Amino acid sequence: MRSARFLIAIALLGLVACGEEPTASGPTVSQYEEEAKRLASLAKENSGAPATAAAAAKKTARYVPGGAGQGNLAPGYMYSRIGKRDPFRSYVLEQASLRRGEGRGPLEQFELGQLSITAVVWDTNRARAVVRDPSGRTYIVGTGTPIGKNEGRIQDIQDGSMVVKETYVDYMGNSTSKDVEIKITSSGG
């Protein structure tokens, strides 16, 4: 009994919905086909060079009022990507590359005082150190690794310490470099 009432209600809603006429919000199919034929004939007439066909299509472009399915475009508007950024590239990476000419690594986001050394392997051909950032993540670094906000690079890794050469630029634009030694943190024992 209950399912029969439900089916009757659905049928009535279907009949009511079918009786309404859809509202036209854009050009009809016949208008679209006529415009396509007109543009095809223009392209055929100006088939000398593709640039002239594009120019002819631009000249004959119609203004379509807002709400017609194509947006509000001013007459004669053509999109140009010149001077605009690629929307599919990361904005953050793009800004970092503009600052330095390349992407910045995770250890270059912190000051040297915020980083700590937890372990050192130094009696090998390539000395390595384990550096911990403030969030607790650890990174294995070697000589030449960029580190710190001031264009720092690891110069030397020794038993229990690491030497980083940072470059500072003063207000006059003069750059000076400074060697900073970071010692291993003791384990409390």
Q: Is residue 136 one of the residues assigned to a domain?
A: yes
Reported pTM: 0.45
Q: Is residue 71 one of the residues assigned to a domain?
A: no
Q: Is residue 11 one of the residues assigned to a domain?
A: no
Where the chain has pLDDT below 70, the residues are 1-2, 4, 7, 12, 14-26, 46-74, 93-103, 187-189
Q: Is residue 40 one of the residues assigned to a domain?
A: no
Q: What is the pLDDT of residue 159?
A: 86
Q: Model confidence over 123-175: pLDDT tens digits?
A: 888 999 999 999 999 999 999 999 988 889 999 998 888 999 998 877 777 88
Which residues, including other chains, have CB under 8 Å from residue 37's CB and lie 6 or more apart?
Answer: none
Which residues, including other chains, have CB under 8 Å from residue 185's CB and lie 6 or more apart?
Answer: 116, 117, 118
Q: Is residue 30 one of the residues assigned to a domain?
A: no
Q: Is residue 164 one of the residues assigned to a domain?
A: yes
Q: Is residue 8 one of the residues assigned to a domain?
A: no
Query: How many structural domains compose the chain?
Result: 1
Q: How many CA atoms lie within 13 A of 74 on its CB side?
A: 3
Question: In which domain, by residue range, is 154 found?
Answer: 106-183
Which residues, including other chains, have CB under 8 Å from residue 129's CB and lie 6 or more apart?
Answer: 117, 119, 120, 121, 140, 141, 142, 154, 157, 162
Q: Is residue 60 one of the residues assigned to a domain?
A: no
Contact (Cβ atoms closer than 8 angstroms) between residue 164 and residue 149: no
For the domain that residue 146 is a member of, what is the CATH number? Answer: 2.30.30.830
Contact (Cβ atoms closer than 8 angstroms) between residue 142 and residue 130: no
